[in-house]
Chains A and B, each alone.
Chain A
Amino acid sequence: MSAFLAAVLTATAPVVLAALGGLLCAAAGVFNMALEGQLLWGAFTAVLTSHVTGSAWAGVAGAVLATALYALLLSVPVVTFRADPVVVAVGTNLLALGLTAFLMRQVFGSGGTFSSPELAGLPTLAALGLGAPVLGPQSPLVPGAFALVAWAGWWLGRTRSGLRLRGIGEHAEAAGAIGLRVRRYRHAAVLGAGALCGLGGAQLALGNVTLFSEGMSAGRGWVAVVAVMLAGARPWLGLGACLLFGAAEALGFRLQGLGLPQQAADAAPYLITLLALVVAAAARRKERTA
């Protein structure tokens, strides 16, 4: 049981980090559908930096920085030029797929999957001497992800800058009228989301596994988008969606060991996430009409 819980937390952590980024953007009134591409870019840059420097923590730092920079491709068109956020996100997601596959061939000399015994992965908490039963096999980024969620809840609800960010999302003109620099806050939110996706990508490629393969974000960024939609009204619902996805992934992996076809295990997390979205939306609708 504790091994299963550990697997759920591992599978959930990258999604939670991406969803937290999406939540910050939503709070600031920016629709961020670019999480999928940013997670992928984060995973790639984490592996690249770790490979070049030989240090997993440098890989994490590299991914955070590189993905925050990549998020400029979303923030400049959408915040500065007011371009359609959905169209720009479709473009940056596609760009991330192409760019990572292209650079992979240029840098590592082949496509598909890159892994190497020299590639440094993140240490587990147990290896750092912090072995609790469930958290032991996790990288420090896993408890870090959940701590960041708690911090973001406090920041958005209790601090001046957090409340201002929400005010901008609530009514940008009014916030601008009392002197808030709306664009600056929004740029910061989008770049912050990029940094969080970088962290999520690093956990995915250096924590969950120690490799990079093409398209390895595999829809997790879209699950995060769903989580943000659910979180709109109630943040715990968003976190619940992430955990549900993680549980489905971990369970599918288990059942595959028991003879379930791999395709069923691949499909389950998406179907369950969609089901959660449908149930929540139906419940919300019922509440409204009642």
Chain B
Amino acid sequence: MSRAATAPRAPSAGGAARRPGWAAARRAVLSPALLSVAGALALTTLVMAAAGADPSLAYPALVRGALLDGNLEYTLAAYVPTLGMAVAFAVPLRAGEFNLGGDGQLSLGGITAAALALHAGGSYALPLAGAALAGALLAGLSAPLRTRLGVPAIVSTLLLSAPAVSLASYLARFPLAEPGTGLAQTPLLPEAARLPALGGSSYVTLALPLVAVLTALWLPADTRTVPGYEIRALGANREFARYGGVRVDRLATVTMAAGGAFAGLVGGLIVLGPPYRFVDGALTAPGYTFTAVAAVLLAAGRPLAVPGSVALLTILQAGGQGMEREAGVPSQLTQIVQGLIIVIVAVAAVVRAARRRG
């Protein structure tokens, strides 16, 4: 489907390091990712100026809002779900499928975790497992639609996402709602089910090492294991993979479900972290799903680059709030930048491929 985003590549970091310095530097400067970020920042500066804001005030405000003045904690807390959602999008993408239903999988996972924590008792392990399972089942629905009926995952995941968000919202407002308050949220979850906070921070929880470890497991699995290779073969050429003995349908189901499991888990991690309840809309409002999509496309399908590109876009997203406060630039500017990055990355990838060929 997407040549640029899914084609297996040689591990580029090592390849670049072996080349003479100049070539490596030139390669880095001309890489689609860097070009896209530079292009998007140039366009953002134009939009800022057009909106009457002074970029020399807005950019420092953005950096301060993300990294300084005690904001690093919030940025780190936003990095975790975004990284998780990036893996949720990237795993099926390696097999050539677009999972755009992250919001639905996230919400369903979150509400499942809240229900289990409230009614099953015990530690955070069961709610998290339930959240991952809920996400996996929802995303897994898209696999037979794709393999048996030819409905692309990009369409079915999106169409299933809206009803899942609605279902979670309904559950949080009615059966699971905090009695007597009229607010669209569940009661506070019991102490035992809450994720322990780390390092004296009130926002960074066990979710950070958990997502980091799972991501760290995925990276070598993608490049160095047989299933990882088969997934990339499937993404590169479905029929050829089938011819080569890959169980195409089963693998497509596994990758979709794995992506959904990641998204569901992220929903659980958010709900079991502060403020320790499912608040309707709080999971989807920060836009983790599409920040993650932009980050993965920016990484151009190279898993090793994903944590870095997620960091960049999370800083932009988190810093946007600071920019809004200090420079009066609406924080939606960062969504504009993400959209532009994706478009430019798509063009840069083709232009680069053409230059390599020609």
Contacts and interface: CB of A to CB of B under 8 A. Distances in A.
Contacts of B192: none
Contact of B293 (A90, A105, A219, A270): A90
Main secondary structure of the interface of B (DSSP, over half): helix
B78 interface: no
Contacts of A88: 342-343, 346-347
Contact of A219 (B149, B162, B339): B162
A270 B2 contact: no
A77 B159 contact: no
A204 B259 CA distance: 34
Given A91-B342, A106-B51, A274 B159 contact: yes
Interface stretch (B56-64, B123-131, B165-173): B165-173
Nearest to A96: B339
Contacts of A285: 148-150
B332 A91 contact: no
Given A73-B343, A92-B343, A278-B151, A226 B166 contact: no
Contacts of A202: none
A173 interface: no
B297 to A, nearest CB: 6
Interface stretch (A5-13, A58-66, A79-87, A192-200): A79-87
A255 interface: no
Residue of A93, A223, A229, A270 with most chain B CB atoms under a 10 A cut-off: A270
B179 to A, nearest CB: 18
Given A87-B5, A98-B332, A264-B166, A81 B158 contact: no
A271 B104 CA distance: 13
A222 interface: yes
A108 B163 CA distance: 31
Contacts of B156: 274, 277
A97 interface: yes
A78 B257 CA distance: 31
Nearest to B1: A86
A97 B340 CA distance: 12
Contacts of A271: 159, 163
Residue of A83, A218, A267 with most chain B CB atoms under a 10 A cut-off: A83
Contacts of B293: 90, 94
In which size bucket is the chain B interface?
Answer: 35 or more
Interface in B119-163: 145, 148-151, 154-156, 158-160, 162-163
B205 interface: no
A81 B344 CA distance: 11
Contacts of B297: 87, 90-91
Interface in B269-311: 290, 293-294, 297
A281 interface: yes
Contact of A87 (B4, B166, B170, B330): B4
Interface in B33-63: 47, 51
B193 interface: no
Nearest to A99: B336
A95 B340 contact: yes
B100 A90 contact: yes
Contact of B3 (A84, A96, A267, A282): A84
Nearest to B141: A274
A270 B341 contact: no
A92 B339 contact: yes
Contact of A98 (B51, B98, B335): B335
B30 interface: no
A273 B169 CA distance: 21
Interface in A179-207: none
Interface string B324-358: 00000010111111111111011101110000000
Contacts of A226: 155, 159
A33 interface: yes
B174 interface: yes
Contacts of B173: 261, 263
B86 to A, nearest CB: 14
Given A73-B343, A77-B346, A94-B335, A281 B2 contact: no
A284 B150 CA distance: 10
A229 B1 contact: no
A271 B4 CA distance: 32
A187 to B, nearest CB: 15
B170 A261 contact: yes
B154 A86 contact: yes
A81 B173 CA distance: 48
Residue of A274, A282, A285 with most chain B CB atoms under a 10 A cut-off: A274
Contact of A101 (B167, B330, B343): B330
A111 B330 CA distance: 10
B162 A87 contact: no
A83 B341 CA distance: 14
Interface in B178-221: none
Contact of A83 (B1, B155, B340, B346): B346
Contacts of A270: 159-160, 162-163
Contacts of A222: 155, 158-159
A20 interface: no
Give 7 nearest A-B pairs by CB, closest first.
A95-B339, A98-B335, A91-B342, A267-B163, A281-B149, A263-B170, A91-B343
Interface of B: 1-5, 47, 51, 98, 100, 145, 148-151, 154-156, 158-160, 162-163, 166-167, 169-170, 173-174, 290, 293-294, 297, 330, 332-343, 345-347, 349-351
Given A90-B293, A91-B346, A263-B170, 6 more contacts: A87-B5, A91-B345, A95-B338, A98-B337, A101-B330, A267-B163
9 contacts: A84-B346, A91-B339, A91-B345, A95-B336, A111-B330, A222-B155, A267-B163, A274-B160, A282-B149
